[in-house]
């Protein structure tokens, strides 16, 4: 993800800050993935609203560009405290044990805030301990708390979202309901429109649950031909973009399997952009040695992708690949595709498939079915009218997924919760 830029026409509305000088403790121990940028834009929104912000993170997170920008900004209303990396909690820790450790860490952070008790504790990535809060209550005593839930999935079956069932779905549902009913909860935010719809009929829960659009910057428009020229791509090919962390879950192996079929169009080539993990590096090396002609149809942009190159890639491609394998959560790349007005080739499972079908963003298929992948590519490539319609649908669907839109939704939701409590 590139550094975010606020759209000039989409900013925090005047008057949504409510109380200038409101003290907020923001807890984000990590900066990997999207965490550093979520921390950055949420803190910048709070400062724009006139709130005083104290960020607590781990020492290792300070090197992230987004966190470094906050730390080095010389803003008197913003304080950043680094905790010892010994507090880090491994991802491999079993779910509820890991959540308990984060719950305990956050309770410690709250106590470290000292005499200047915050008016609100905010956790940008609330999935650290969302279910443990439901089980044990808030770790922040009487202090109001809030955060963004990214990954709840227990509601998928009820919403018609294809996903691998979990025996813990019922438990997670009950725990999330308990968290929603916690007396000190200010507002629970979610980036998942399906979760909002799931609770739509429950007035009490819905009142304390608010949608915040996942933000992505929108680069200045670039002509496809110009972008291809800058990337040394051919003007007469049909390019499919595979973007992000390139692991087996991206479905690149499945895409190349489909490309071997005679019915797969020969003028389709693939742009592979992002950090490639070891497993996929080995796969690509084998492909280069064993099937050089197929490998020649892949264009690798391996490693960190700068914001400038990212904009060129989305402008240059004809469609964006989202044929992910065993991935059921939301995808920021789907949002980027919509913002860039590009149709998608998407897996039929999980939130990606659900959103693609619901908003008519492209074609869906089982990525493990090579014939199905080839048919979907032919259908989208062979129908420019359909492709254009899907691109327009994406732009409309994700029009609010700007930095300013996300910040306004966050501050408005927190301000609304403040008003509710003072009535």
Cα 229 to Cα 284: distance, rounded to the nearest angstrom? 25
What pLDDT band is residue 1 in, cutting at 50, 70 and 90? Answer: very low
Q: How many CA atoms lie within 13 A of 367 on its CB side?
A: 23
pLDDT for residue 418 is more than 70: no
Structure tokens at 58: 């781990």
Are 162 and 356 contacting, i.e. CB atoms less than 8 angstroms apart?
no
Are 355 and 328 contacting, i.e. CB atoms less than 8 angstroms apart?
no
Are 179 and 185 contacting, i.e. CB atoms less than 8 angstroms apart?
yes
pLDDT for residue 382 is more than 70: yes
C-alpha angle 53-57-58 in degrees, rounded to nearest 5: 160
| Averaged pLDDT, 161-182 | 92
Structure tokens at 394: 């994406």
Span 224-397 CATH architecture: 3-Layer(aba) Sandwich (3.40)
Classify strands 52-58 and 145-149 as parallel, antiparallel or unpaired: unpaired
Structure tokens at 167: 């025996």
Flag the least confident range among 275-279, 357-361, 414-418.
414-418
pLDDT at site 330: 86
Cα 62 to Cα 67: distance, rounded to the nearest angstrom? 6
Q: Is the dihedral of CA 98, 91, 307, 268 positive or negative?
A: negative
181-236 per-position pLDDT tens digit: 999 999 999 999 999 999 988 877 888 999 999 988 766 778 999 999 999 999 99
pLDDT for residue 11 is more than 80: no
Same fold, 23-217+402-422 and 224-397: yes
Domain spanning 23-217+402-422: CATH 3.30.470.20:
no
71-100 per-position pLDDT tens digit: 998 899 999 999 999 999 998 899 999 999
pLDDT for residue 9 is more than 70: no
272-321 per-position pLDDT tens digit: 999 999 999 999 999 999 999 999 999 999 988 888 899 999 999 999 99
Give the predicted TM-score (pTM) of the model. 0.83
pLDDT at site 313: 97
| Averaged pLDDT, 145-157 | 94
Q: What are the residue ranges spanned by the domains of the chain?
A: 23-217+402-422, 224-397
Q: What secondary structure does DSSP assign to 217-271, as a single string? A: --PPP--HHHHHHHTT--TTSEEEEEESSBSGGG-HHHHHHHHTSTTS-TTEEEE
Cα 29 to Cα 57: distance, rounded to the nearest angstrom? 4
Cα 206 to Cα 412: distance, rounded to the nearest angstrom? 15
pLDDT at site 32: 86
Cα 99 to Cα 168: distance, rounded to the nearest angstrom? 15
pLDDT at site 18: 53
Query: How many angstroms from the chain centroid is the CA of residue 365?
Result: 22
pLDDT for residue 344 is more than 60: yes
pLDDT at site 7: 44
Task: List residues bridging with 243 in a β-sheet.
Answer: 273
What pLDDT band is residue 362 in, cutting at 50, 70 and 90? Answer: very high
Question: Which has the higher per-residue pLDDT, 40 or 3?
Answer: 40
pLDDT at site 249: 95
pLDDT at site 201: 82
Cα 47 to Cα 22: distance, rounded to the nearest angstrom? 10
């Amino acid at each position: 993800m590139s550094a975010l830029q606020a759209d000039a026409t989409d900013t925090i509305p005047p008057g949504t800050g409510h109380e200038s000088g409101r003290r907020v403790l923001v807890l984000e121990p990590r900066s990997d993935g999207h965490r550093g940028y979520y921390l950055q834009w949420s803190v910048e929104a709070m400062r724009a609203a006139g709130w005083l912000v104290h960020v607590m993170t781990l020492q290792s997170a300070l090197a992230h560009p987004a966190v470094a920008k906050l730390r080095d900004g010389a803003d008197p209303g913003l304080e950043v405290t680094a905790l010892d990396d010994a507090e880090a909690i491994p991802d491999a820790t079993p779910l509820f044990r890991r959540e308990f450790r984060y719950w305990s860490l956050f309770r410690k952070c709250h106590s470290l805030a000292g005499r200047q008790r915050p008016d609100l504790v905010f956790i940008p990535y609330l999935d650290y301990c969302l279910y443990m809060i439901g089980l044990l209550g808030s770790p922040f005593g009487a202090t109001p708390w809030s955060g963004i839930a990214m990954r709840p999935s227990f509601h998928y079956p009820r919403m018609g979202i294809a996903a691998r069932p979990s025996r813990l779905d019922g438990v997670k549902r009950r725990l999330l309901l308990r968290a929603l009913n916690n007396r000190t909860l200010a507002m629970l935010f979610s980036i998942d429109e399906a979760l909002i719809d799931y609770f739509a009929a429950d007035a009490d829960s819905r009142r304390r649950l608010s949608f915040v659009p996942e933000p992505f910057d929108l680069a200045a428009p670039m002509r496809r031909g110009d972008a291809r020229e800058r990337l040394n791509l051919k003007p007469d090919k049909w390019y499919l973009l595979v973007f992000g962390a390139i692991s087996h879950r991206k479905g690149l192996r499945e895409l190349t399997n489909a490309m071997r079929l005679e019915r797969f169009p020969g003028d389709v080539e693939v742009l592979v952009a992002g950090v490639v993990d070891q497993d996929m590096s080995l796969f690509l090396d084998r492909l280069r040695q064993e099937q050089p002609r197929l490998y020649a149809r892949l264009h690798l942009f391996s490693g960190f992708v700068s914001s400038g190159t990212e904009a060129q890639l989305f402008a240059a491609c004809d469609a964006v690949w989202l044929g992910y394998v065993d991935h059921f959560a939301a995808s920021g790349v789907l949002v980027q595709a919509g913002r860039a007005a590009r149709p998608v080739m998407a897996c039929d499972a999980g939130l990606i498939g659900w959103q693609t079908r619901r908003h008519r963003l492209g074609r869906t298929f089982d990525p493990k079915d090579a014939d199905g992948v080839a048919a979907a590519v032919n259908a989208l490539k062979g129908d420019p009218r359909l492709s254009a319609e899907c691109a327009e649908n994406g732009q409309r669907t994700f029009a609010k997924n700007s930095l300013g839109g996300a910040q306004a939704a966050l501050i408005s939701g927190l301000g609304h919760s403040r008003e509710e409590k003072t009535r």
